[in-house]
């Protein structure tokens, strides 16, 4: 059968089978091709779509277990209004009309008495809310404040995105052939000789529209790996070079590798000369980072640094697949700058098998990772009120610009620069997961007069702080789109539960009520068709085709395809990739235009006294197979697979503290403590421990002070808010100190 003849839907025995895309909820960063097997209104099983390019039928346990999530008895099915006090978990079922009436009243009050900027909308990570919630914020509420759910320093992808926005003027990702329907078999593609995987564990996390199994496919064709990770991950165990660095020292390592590459003349001189700005200043800066010094800082042996640097530079094409660990240190932006400089000075820019420049497929605003939909409608004086906009000019850059989360927190606490009157949380669970310093965030939310949570399940955050809870549809209950990055994909609704609405429907309904001029569409499908108008298809047509690939071109900078004026070059002030960031000078707020290294706030070097008391370096939150952050803890199969929070400790360290595999232990530092279960394993070095994030216990008591046991194993009792880098981005989620000791019997 040719691809055009493939059916979108068919009957198979007692099932209707639908071929479509799965995204959120429950949360995921990807949109893999799935086959939904439904019987009436029931999702019975999910299989991978073998004919879906680049997913080829490969599914994670989280997709295979979707029926358990979707039909779970704890799903929220009706709008709920709080009765009694916050934290009592007492709710009254109300109609959607009553919910919308209440929202309209509260929004109009806030707009009139405090200005629209007193309404702050918050989202969690990369789901199909990043297009639609900005539209709600800017067009319906007319507020400039779209934010993450108190994610300190917005330390997830946004630091890297903003850095690329100012350094390159565009967005770069690794080329794993995903821009072609034929994938790595495309004649235009080249297999990278080397992939450097930096602070990322994509086999488990499949982050940001990237699939870990793409790397495995490339390894089968000969690609060699360098892995920069303190732990021996699956990929590290198969790498030619594994650099197990001390958490938070990434920029020193990248600067040290550049020292080797530049001083040994291994750069791409022609590319540097023609397309980059500031090489001579960078060359001077890297002289401060000879491999001996870098080995001391990073705990990676000097020879390994030299050999890995040579191997990366001498492999062409080569690419870098980077991850979250870069953002999760206060100076994450400079680490990103140093790493992006590595691919720039070796000329691996927008080349086959290198780090290519991408934009969301067909610029579809609703479906991509970008968050600007509706921003242009706001007058300049309203935009200027965005929290953090003035203090942190880097927050204007990038494709996912948000309000500064830590300053939003301070505004909730202090009413400055102005009061926050409404928090609208659509797809985030800050106190269990997204925010650091969880108790502080809990208390701050209670100061806000009206909070709305839009979610699939009741969460610790909702019980603690919400006044209204709206039930939202899961992915198989949702008509939606995906354009992060390519191809453009349709998401089809195959079942419906209770009175749930989709994120798009909720925003659309509220927009129609509050500001109909900016929501001119007849219904959500009409709006979806408008969003993909550049593809020339209606939503219904796309749904039958499932996906469509826009044309992709390499070396767009040479062809005049990047700048608004159509000239060759990059969309930056100098028209070149800026190794020296001229914007940092222009803004005049004290940002270093060159990459630098700064010690973590608490570390063996910066706080030696503290290190005596807390003699282990703590990194947190490396992804696990069946959980997506704080989600899925309700699913019996997921809990069977991964019943407890796990803290990884090296056998030598465990011995030193009398800890056995499987013991409940306390992880503690001067900010707080929590309990997790020890996994004694050689994959982690002896001076480092790793604690899991996102843990709460849906089976435990909901009401305060328990909040489903959210304070028992929560690693974000040990992390801090408002310790950001100078750009405002970055927070110390993965760079703390701690001590560990055996907990009393019983566990949690």
Ligand X SMILES: Nc1nc2c(c(=O)[nH]1)N[C@H]1C(S)=C(S)[C@@H](COP(=O)(O)OP(=O)(O)OC[C@H]3O[C@@H](n4cnc5c(=O)[nH]c(N)nc54)[C@H](O)[C@@H]3O)O[C@H]1N2
* Contact positions vs ligand X (CB under 6 A): 24-27, 29, 124-125, 127, 129, 149, 151, 156, 198-202, 204-207, 228-231, 233, 245, 247-248, 250, 323-325, 328, 426-429, 433-434, 454-457, 459, 472, 503, 619-623, 627-631, 693-694, 715-716, 719, 733-734
Distance, CA of 680 to CA of 684 (rounded, Å): 9
Q: Which does 315 bind (CB under 5 to 8 A by kind): ligand X, ligand SF4, Mo ion, none?
A: none
Using the contact rule CB under 5 A, the part of the chain among 152-160, 404-412, 543-551, 560-568 near Mo ion is 152-160
125/315 with CB nearer Mo ion: 125
371/572 with CB nearer Mo ion: 371
Contact between residue 722 and residue 321 where contact means Cβ atoms under 8 Å apart: no
Single out the residue of 17, 20, 22, 677 in contact with ligand SF4 (rule: CB under 6 A): 22
Distance, CA of 490 to CA of 305 (rounded, Å): 44
As measured in angstroms, the least distance from the Cβ of 2 to ligand X is 34
Three-class secondary structure of residue 680 per DSSP: strand
Measured CA to CA in angstroms, residue 489 lies from 33, 185, 370, 609, 618 at distances of 9, 21, 16, 54, 39
546 binds ligand SF4 (CB under 6 A): no
432 binds Mo ion (CB under 5 A): no
156 binds Mo ion (CB under 5 A): yes
Q: Which does 737 bind (CB under 5 to 8 A by kind): ligand X, Mo ion, ligand SF4, none?
A: none
- Give the residues across from 182 on adjacent strands: none
Q: Which does 720 bind (CB under 5 to 8 A by kind): ligand SF4, Mo ion, ligand X, none?
A: none
Single out the residue of 17, 28, 235, 494 in contact with ligand SF4 (rule: CB under 6 A): 28
Scanning 447-502, the segments in alpha helix (DSSP H) are 460-465
63 binds ligand SF4 (CB under 6 A): yes
347: alpha, beta or left? (left if phi > 0; alpha if psi -120 to 50): left
Residue 352, C-beta contacts closer than 8 angstroms, at least 6 positions apart: 175, 188, 189, 190, 317, 554
207/398 with CB nearer ligand SF4: 207
60/325 with CB nearer ligand SF4: 60
Distance, CA of 736 to CA of 461 (rounded, Å): 24
162 binds ligand SF4 (CB under 6 A): no
Count interface residues toward Mo ion (CB under 5 A). Answer: 2
532 binds Mo ion (CB under 5 A): no
420 binds Mo ion (CB under 5 A): no
* Residues 442-468: b if buried by 16+ CB within 10 A, e if exposed: bebbeebebbbbbbbbbbbbbbbbbbb
Residue 399, C-beta contacts closer than 8 angstroms, at least 6 positions apart: 161, 165, 171, 369, 370, 371, 372
Q: Which does 715 bind (CB under 5 to 8 A by kind): ligand X, ligand SF4, Mo ion, none?
A: ligand X
125 binds Mo ion (CB under 5 A): yes
Closest by CA to 680, choosing from 672, 671, 689, 667, is 689
Distance, CA of 672 to CA of 497 (rounded, Å): 40
Closest by CA to 195, choosing from 54, 283, 70, 320, is 320
As measured in angstroms, the least distance from the Cβ of 374 to ligand X is 18
Distance, CA of 369 to CA of 668 (rounded, Å): 36
Q: Which does 149 bind (CB under 5 to 8 A by kind): ligand X, Mo ion, ligand SF4, none?
A: ligand X
Q: Which does 277 bind (CB under 5 to 8 A by kind): Mo ion, ligand X, ligand SF4, none?
A: none
Closest by CA to 245, choosing from 696, 699, 684, is 684
59 binds ligand SF4 (CB under 6 A): yes
As measured in angstroms, the least distance from the Cβ of 620 to ligand X is 4
- In the structure encoding, which two tokens stand for residue 445, read together? 């939310």
Residues that bind ligand SF4 (CB under 6 A): 22, 28, 30, 32, 59-60, 62-63, 206
């Amino acid at each position: 059968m040719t691809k055009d003849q493939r059916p979108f839907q068919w009957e198979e025995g007692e099932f209707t089978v639908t071929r479509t895309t799965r995204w959120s909820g429950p949360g995921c960063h990807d949109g893999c091709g799935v086959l939904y097997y439904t019987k009436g209104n029931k999702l019975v099983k999910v299989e991978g779509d073998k004919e879906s390019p680049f997913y080829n039928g490969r599914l994670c346990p989280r997709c295979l277990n979707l029926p358990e999530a979707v039909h779970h008895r704890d799903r929220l099915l009706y709008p709920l209004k709080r009765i009694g006090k916050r934290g009592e978990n007492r709710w009254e079922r109300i109609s959607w009309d009553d919910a919308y009436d209440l929202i309209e009243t509260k929004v109009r009050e806030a707009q009139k008495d405090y200005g629209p900027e007193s309404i702050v909308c918050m989202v969690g990570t990369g789901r199909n809310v990043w297009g639609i919630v900005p539209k709600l914020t800017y067009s319906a509420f007319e507020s400039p404040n779209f934010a993450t759910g108190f994610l300190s320093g917005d330390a997830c992808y946004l630091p890297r995105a903003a850095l690329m926005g100012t350094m390159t003027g565009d967005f770069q990702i690794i080329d794993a052939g995903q821009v072609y329907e034929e994938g790595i078999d495309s004649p235009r593609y080249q297999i990278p000789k080397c992939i450097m995987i930096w602070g990322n564990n994509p086999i488990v996390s499949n982050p940001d529209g990237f699939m870990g199994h793409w790397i495995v496919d490339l390894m089968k064709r000969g690609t060699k790996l360098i892995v920069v990770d303190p732990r021996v991950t699956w990929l590290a165990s198969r790498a030619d070079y594994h650099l197990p660095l001390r958490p938070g020292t990434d920029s020193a390592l990248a600067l040290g590798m550049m020292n080797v590459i530049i001083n040994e003349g291994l750069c791409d001189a022609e590319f540097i000369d023609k397309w980059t700005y500031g090489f001579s200043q960078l060359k001077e800066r890297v002289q401060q980072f000879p491999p001996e010094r870098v080995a001391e800082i990073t705990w990676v042996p000097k020879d390994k640094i030299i050999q890995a640097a040579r191997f990366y530079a001498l492999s062409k094409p080569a690419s870098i697949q980077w991850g979250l660990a870069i953002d999760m240190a206060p100076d994450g932006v400079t680490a990103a700058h140093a790493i992006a400089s590595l691919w720039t000075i070796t000329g691996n820019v927008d080349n086959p098998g290198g780090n290519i420049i991408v934009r969301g497929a067909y610029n579809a605003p609703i479906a991509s990772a970008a968050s600007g939909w509706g921003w242009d409608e706001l007058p300049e004086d309203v935009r200027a009120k965005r929290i953090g906009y003035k203090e942190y000019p880097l927050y204007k850059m990038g494709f996912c610009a948000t309000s500064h989360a830590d300053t939003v927190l301070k505004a909730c606490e202090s009413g400055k620069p102005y009061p926050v009157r409404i928090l609208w949380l659509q797809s985030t669970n800050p106190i269990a997961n997204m925010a650091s310093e969880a108790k502080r965030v809990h208390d701050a939310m209670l100061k806000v007069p009206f909070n709305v949570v839009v979610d699939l399940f009741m969460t610790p955050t909702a019980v603690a702080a919400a006044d209204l809870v709206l039930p939202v549809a899961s992915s198989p209950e949702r008509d939606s789109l995906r354009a992060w990055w390519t191809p453009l994909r349709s998401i089809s609704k195959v079942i419906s539960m209770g009175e749930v609405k989709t994120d798009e429907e909720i925003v659309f309904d509220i927009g129609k009520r509050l500001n109909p001029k900016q929501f001119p569409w007849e219904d959500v499908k009409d709006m979806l068709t408008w969003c993909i108008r550049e593809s020339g298809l209606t939503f219904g047509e796309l749904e039958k085709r499932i996906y469509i690939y826009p044309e992709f071109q390499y070396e767009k900078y040479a062809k005049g395809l990047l700048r608004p004026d159509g000239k060759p070059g990059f969309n930056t002030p100098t028209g070149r990739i800026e190794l020296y960031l001229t914007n940092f000078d222009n803004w005049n707020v004290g940002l270093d235009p060159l990459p630098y290294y700064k010690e973590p706030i608490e570390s063996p070097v910066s706080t030696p006294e503290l290190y005596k008391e807390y003699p282990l370096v703590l990194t947190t939150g490396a992804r696990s197979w069946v959980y997506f952050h704080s989600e899925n803890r309700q699913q019996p199969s997921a809990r069977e697979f991964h019943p407890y929070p796990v803290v990884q400790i090296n056998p030598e360290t465990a011995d030193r503290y009398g800890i056995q595999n499987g013991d409940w232990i306390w992880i503690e530092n001067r900010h707080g403590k929590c309990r997790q279960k020890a996994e004694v394993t050689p994959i982690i070095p002896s001076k480092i421990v790793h604690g899991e994030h996102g843990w709460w216990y849906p089976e435990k008591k909901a009401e305060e002070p328990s909040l489903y046991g959210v304070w028992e194993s929560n690693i974000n009792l040990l992390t801090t808010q408002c310790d950001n880098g100078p750009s405002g981005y970055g927070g110390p989620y993965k760079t703390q100190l701690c001590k560990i000791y055996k907990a009393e019997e019983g566990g949690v």
